[in-house]
Structure 1
Amino acid sequence: MGLSAKDSLQLREALQTAVVKCSERCLYQSARWAAELLDALPEPDLDSHMSEDVSEPTVHPAFAPNPDPAEAALEAHELSRYLLAKSFFDCKEFERCAAVFLPEPLLASLLGTDPADVAPSKGKAKGKARAVPAVSSDYALPELSQKSLFLALYAKIIAGEKHKDEEAEMIMGPQDSGAVVNKQLVVVSRFLARWFAERKADDADYPPSQGFLEYLYGMVLAKEKNDNLALDYLMQSVHLFPWNWGAWQEITNLISRVEQLNKIAPHLPQNIMSFIFHANAAVNLYQQGPDQAASINDLLSIFPTSSFLLTCKALLCYHSKDLFAAEHEFNKVLALHPFRLDALDHYSNILYVLNRRPKLAFLAHLCSNIDKFRPESCVVIGNYYSLLSLHEKAVQYFRRALTLDRSCLSAWTLMGHEYVELKNTHAAIESYRRAVDVNRRDYRAWYGLGQTYEVLEMHAYALWYYKKAAGLRPWDAKMWQAVGSCLQKMGRDRDGIKALKRALLADSYYDTATAAAPSSSFASGVGDRMAQMDPEVLLQIATMYDRLGELDEAKSYMELCLAQEEGINAAAAGADDSTGRAAGGGGLNESMAMHDASPGSDPEAETNDRGTQDNAGTGTGVTFATSKARMWLARYAIQARDYATANRLATELCQDGVEVEEAKALMRQARSGMAEGGASSSVADEQVHHQPRG
């Protein structure tokens, strides 16, 4: 994807306008996002600017007056009050900012209620806000410009959020139920409902909307859990003004499925913002593959140094389990933008999994020096303490992050992990539940709930939560392995086998996606390693077939498990035809064919606890699972009177060092059987030799 000089100039002007308009309405996060994207756009040729006629001064479109004359007149009339209100907002005096244009008595008359009912509560009462009566039609709405009205109502919402945080109890304290609400939402919602109703009337003659009040109303409706109506207003907002990134973020938060994303995509404005939104939403929905990587690379060709797009690329690798590539991309972001803290909590998760303790210590020190009171900094420091096994200290920093921002998803989920380590299952469950309340797409929280209930041996609950996690990550083998293991513990072996076979196919999906991704950097860091099937999963499947009495299927999967020591090719050669049939559909043989000779995506595969680095390129080496499979096959061979195979397997077991005594007993039994077989053969030969000739 490339832009012509004219398109690049138009894009630059649109982003400059977006920064100014969002800043005027105190949408600082959206203004910062547009400014960062603008900075990543390559500078135009200086000669082209010098060649333009500069004899007459021109007004940049970003600072041009409102094209609508009625709105322009209102803005000019309100300029002094607007500047006063904006200065109050910048000084974080949100109530004073709102009162400049919408004083409490005016709101009370419009709402037909007492001012005390809409004023912020000073007490410690918890629960829902008081019901506000319908907007009174006896009083006309104040005649304000859309910019001033947006600033006043937005300040009202921010003030409500501030009071909500003040009324909330200590994080995870005895009274922290998460039930405190923003009491100003209902006020703003009723006001905007009437404002839009008047403009939609048949005889209405109002200036066209600018898109910001639609964004505000959509945001309020989303907080009130009215998702469908919120999505309608947010889509209207991005059609009217597509450069407000906050509106696109709200739409992203309302989309829970890829099908929903594909459904609304044709109804969005067709411009570069829609393209950026689609790439970001796909990453948030844990989509991966060459198509997603190509979309982000196309955008990076326009904005080469964009911190936002580089972070999306890193998260794409992270969700694809390509942790080394994700680390490389985050290193690039940190080198280009060393003072940017956004998404560094994800980077610390990657360093934690890869056990990069020195690098994580450096990152924690860097974040602390930049801003120790940012939620991302607290999460990074908490991850560092967790890696040191100082779990109480880690919980302290995760709680600090949540004190700063109760919607910090990473902090809720990671604090749940720490409480699991501390064996505090009640607190872990509460942490995971709060994470799910923040974002129901967070599969880690659902998976954590399943793990915690499994520890409590409440397998029915655990299975439900594991299925929720698997629904969000249908191609993640870990999710399906958890479902299969839970079903196995519940005695539902047949269903457990299906889930574990799905886990094997999911592994093949990620290995294929990693091989196809153009950004994979495994080849440089790890070297080519044939993709493996998980011996633990194969052993579980074989064990459940054994319990069902299907010994032929059990033997096939035991052999497949054992063959993982030498690599996938050996596994494919050692598997019976029944193994492929047992997988259903195309069979496991077909899924093994999907494993290309590609770099892997499991950081723990570099070295194995029981294997060596030398055999990392061909197989897993000896593991506990393969030793268990070897023991089962040795016993099976004894029962089948295949004493030579039993002797060979028992000898290998003695070399493995797993269950040596039982292996020695099997070896003696096999050799005894071989000896008896040899003696019987000698007697038979002797009888044949002395048989009289006919």
Structure 2
Amino acid sequence: MVLSAADSLQLRAALQTAVVKCSERCLYQAAKWAAELVDALPEPEMDAPMPDAPEHNIHPVFAPNPDPTEAALEARELSRYLLAKSYFDCKEFERCAAVFLPEPLLAGLMGSTPNEPASAKGKDKAKPKAPAAASFSDYTLPAISQKSMFLALYAKVIAGEKHKDEDAEMVMGPQDSGAVINKQLVLVSRFLTKWFDDRKADDADYPPSQGFLEYLYGMVLAKERNDNLALDYLVQSVHLFPWNWGAWQEITNLVSRVEQLNKIAPHLPQNIMSYMFHANTAVNLYQQSPELAASLNDLLGIFPTSCFLLTCKALLCYHSKDLFAAEQDFNRVLALHPQRLDSLDHYSNILYVLNRRPKLAFLAHLCSSIDKFRPESCVVIGNYYSLLSMHEKAVQYFRRALTLDRSCLSAWTLMGHEYVELKNTHAAIESYRRAVDVNRRDYRAWYGLGQTYEVLEMHAYALWYYKKAAGLRPWDSKMWQAVGSCLQKMGRERDGIKALKRALLADSYYDTTASSFGSAGAVDRMSQMDPEVLLQIACMYDRLDEEEEAKAYMELCLAQEDGAPGGEDGGGAGGASLGDSIAIHHDSPGFGSEGGDGEAGGEGGAGAGGPDGGTGVTFATSKARMWLARYAMRAEDYDTANRLAMELCQDGVEVEEAKALIREARSKMELSEFVAR
């Protein structure tokens, strides 16, 4: 996607305006996001047409409000606005709000109810009477500009969040239930309800809304769990002012399914912001497709050095299990923006999985030297200590990250993994639950809950959580493997077989998707399947006394040593993904020492590799070889039994039993030859 010179100048001006307007309202993250996009736009060529010089040497982004009523109000209250903004910048949020909304004025609003006068609340005559305009519908809002109103109410919300953190118990302490609420939300919600009700009146004559108060109301409603109404107001906000990335992020947080994303897409403004929103939300919903990759590449054609878009591309590869491509994308982000700490917690996860200890040590040192009290820095350092198997130290840093920001999703999930390693299952369950409270789309937390309950042998609970994880990642083989294994332990063999066959199909999906992104080596893995899954399916068929099916899957499992293509019963499922040959701690935490060190290589020497790109000899293929040898003995195919038993001796697995099989097979063959004579 290439923009014309005129479109590029128009886009630059719109983003510059967004930076100024968001900064004026102290929406610093949204302003930073827009400013980074402006910086990522290529500079216009010297011969490109420039916009007309502004009158009085004032740049258009600093021009007064085009609405005369709002412009007059902003001019009248400029001194108070500058005072309020300076208080906000100094983190004196209550003082900032009191400049435009003093406590007596707000007390009148809180002393009234929508349906009854405030005087009806108490009958104590000794108390002072409520004001005459006590009815909620009769309450009069102050005549201030929308910019000042937003700043004051936003300061109230931030002050409430600050008090909420102060009132909360120590992270994971005995009283830390996560039940502390922001007490200012009710006040802000009532104020904005009144403001919007007044504007909806038939005889109302108000200046048009600027979109920021809709954003604030949607954010408050989302915190109050009123998701549907919040979504309505946020959609209104992006229609009125589409350049506020904070509003788009709030919509992303409310979208939990791809179906919901497709449903609201036609109701959004059709511009480059909605295009970026759709790509970012799809990545957050763990979608992987060539179309999504193409969308990100188109956007990178416009913003070639955008750290936000490069991070989205890296996360797309990460969710697609193409960890090497994700590492390269994060390397590029770090090279372009070495002081940027955003999303480096995801980068540290990738380095952990790939066992890049020197790189992770460098990243931890870099984050600590830039800002050791950023949540992202604490998560990176915690991951480094986890890789060193210093789990108590890792927990300490994850707790520090949560002390700085209790909504840090990575810290909650990774701390759950560390508690699993420390065998503290109750603390692990609580950490995963808090991660789910922060973001119900976090499949890692659902999966961790399933594993923890499985260790406690509460298989019904574990199955429920595994299914939640599989619903979020329907094309992730590890999710379906967990479902199948849990069903097997519950004695539901048929359902377990179906789930494990789904795991085989999921592997082929990820390998095909990874290869479509141009990942090297993805196609080479597409001709093989996971021998562990094949062995599980075969064993379940064996327990159901369906020997022919069991034999077919045992043979298929054995064929993976040489990378032989799967048979028709395998559903065309292809190759074990990278996550199946690497102990992925952060995507699927292991218990005890299994998978806890992030070392590469599969179980029982799976990383050796076959001559044609297969898995080589693994514990699973050796078990399949032993089963087939016994089956051949029962079928009186002594030559095959002898050959398989001799291969087992070479594998070094169950050697004594293999030797016994060889002796028995040879005696049977000698007996057969004697009888034949």
1:330 and 1:372 mapped to 2: Cα distance? 20
- Deviation, 1:613, is 4.6
- Deviation, 1:601, is 6.5
1:443 and 1:159 mapped to 2: Cα distance? 32
1:679 aligned to 2:661?
A: no
Cα offsets for 1:316-357 (capped at 9, x unmatched): 000000000000000000000000000000000000000010
Match of 1:692 in 2: none
1:426 and 1:58 mapped to 2: Cα distance? 65
CA contact (8 A) 1:290 1:516 kept: yes
The alignment partner of 2:474 has SS state of coil
When residues 537 and 188 of structure 1 are mapped into structure 2, their CA distance, relative to the original with a 3 A threshold, is same
1:69 and 1:195 mapped to 2: Cα distance? 20
The alignment partner of 1:590 has SS state of coil
The alignment partner of 1:615 has SS state of coil
For structure 1, list consecutive stretches of 5 or more residues without a partner in the other structure.
Answer: 115-132, 581-587, 683-694
When residues 55 and 540 of structure 1 are mapped into structure 2, their CA distance, relative to the original with a 3 A threshold, is closer
Match of 1:638 in 2: 633
Match of 2:618 in 1: 623
- Deviation, 1:680, is 1.3
Report the residue type matching 2:648 in the other structure. L
Match of 2:320 in 1: 320
Aligned pairs for 1:362-377 (under 5 A) are 362-377=362-377
1:475 and 1:454 mapped to 2: Cα distance? 22
Q: 2:529 aligns with which of 524, 528, 533?
A: 533
1:90 and 1:426 mapped to 2: Cα distance? 41
CA contact (8 A) 1:607 1:616 kept: no
- Deviation, 1:110, is 2.1
CA contact (8 A) 2:481 2:533 kept: yes
Cα offsets for 1:536-586 (capped at 9, x unmatched): 1000000000000100000000000000001033xx3xx4xxx52xxxxxx
2:557 and 2:473 mapped to 1: Cα distance? 25
1:261 and 1:680 mapped to 2: Cα distance? 74
Q: Percent identity?
A: 80
Match of 1:72 in 2: 71
Q: 1:591 aligns with which of 548, 551, 573?
A: 573
CA contact (8 A) 1:654 1:663 kept: yes
When residues 475 and 610 of structure 1 are mapped into structure 2, their CA distance, relative to the original with a 3 A threshold, is same
Cα offsets for 1:638-675 (capped at 9, x unmatched): 00000000000000011111111111111111111111
Report the residue type matching 1:290 in the other structure. P
1:604 aligned to 2:600?
A: no
2:53 and 2:425 mapped to 1: Cα distance? 70
1:32 and 1:680 mapped to 2: Cα distance? 89
2:55 and 2:207 mapped to 1: Cα distance? 32
1:34 and 1:541 mapped to 2: Cα distance? 52
Match of 2:107 in 1: 108
1:601 and 1:406 mapped to 2: Cα distance? 29
Match of 2:540 in 1: 544
Cα offsets for 1:47-72 (capped at 9, x unmatched): 336x7765964432211111111101
- Deviation, 1:528, is 4.4
- Deviation, 1:46, is 2.6
When residues 603 and 11 of structure 1 are mapped into structure 2, their CA distance, relative to the original with a 3 A threshold, is farther
When residues 464 and 601 of structure 1 are mapped into structure 2, their CA distance, relative to the original with a 3 A threshold, is closer
2:55 and 2:253 mapped to 1: Cα distance? 47
- Deviation, 1:139, is 3.1
CA contact (8 A) 2:5 2:48 kept: no
1:62 aligned to 2:40?
A: no
The alignment partner of 2:535 has SS state of helix
Match of 2:394 in 1: 394
2:418 and 2:109 mapped to 1: Cα distance? 50
Alignment length, in residue pairs?
A: 641
1:614 and 1:551 mapped to 2: Cα distance? 29
2:167 and 2:349 mapped to 1: Cα distance? 32
CA contact (8 A) 1:111 1:135 kept: no
1:48 and 1:315 mapped to 2: Cα distance? 36
CA contact (8 A) 2:112 2:136 kept: no
When residues 356 and 389 of structure 1 are mapped into structure 2, their CA distance, relative to the original with a 3 A threshold, is same
When residues 568 and 513 of structure 1 are mapped into structure 2, their CA distance, relative to the original with a 3 A threshold, is farther
The alignment partner of 1:636 has SS state of helix
- Deviation, 1:137, is 3.3
Match of 1:91 in 2: 90
Report the residue type matching 2:582 in the other structure. E
Cα offsets for 1:585-642 (capped at 9, x unmatched): xxx25334xx6xx996756397554256563752001100001000000000000000
Match of 1:4 in 2: 4
CA contact (8 A) 2:314 2:329 kept: yes
1:455 and 1:607 mapped to 2: Cα distance? 24
Report the residue type matching 1:356 in the other structure. R
TM-score where L is the length of structure 2: 0.92
2:633 and 2:440 mapped to 1: Cα distance? 52
Cα offsets for 1:174-203 (capped at 9, x unmatched): 011111000000000011001000001111
Aligned pairs for 1:478-627 (under 5 A) are 478-518=478-518, 520=519, 522-523=520-521, 528-569=524-565, 572=566, 575=567, 580=569, 588-592=570-574, 604=582, 607-608=601-602, 609-611=604-606, 613=608, 615=610, 617-627=612-622
When residues 42 and 511 of structure 1 are mapped into structure 2, their CA distance, relative to the original with a 3 A threshold, is same
The alignment partner of 1:107 has SS state of helix
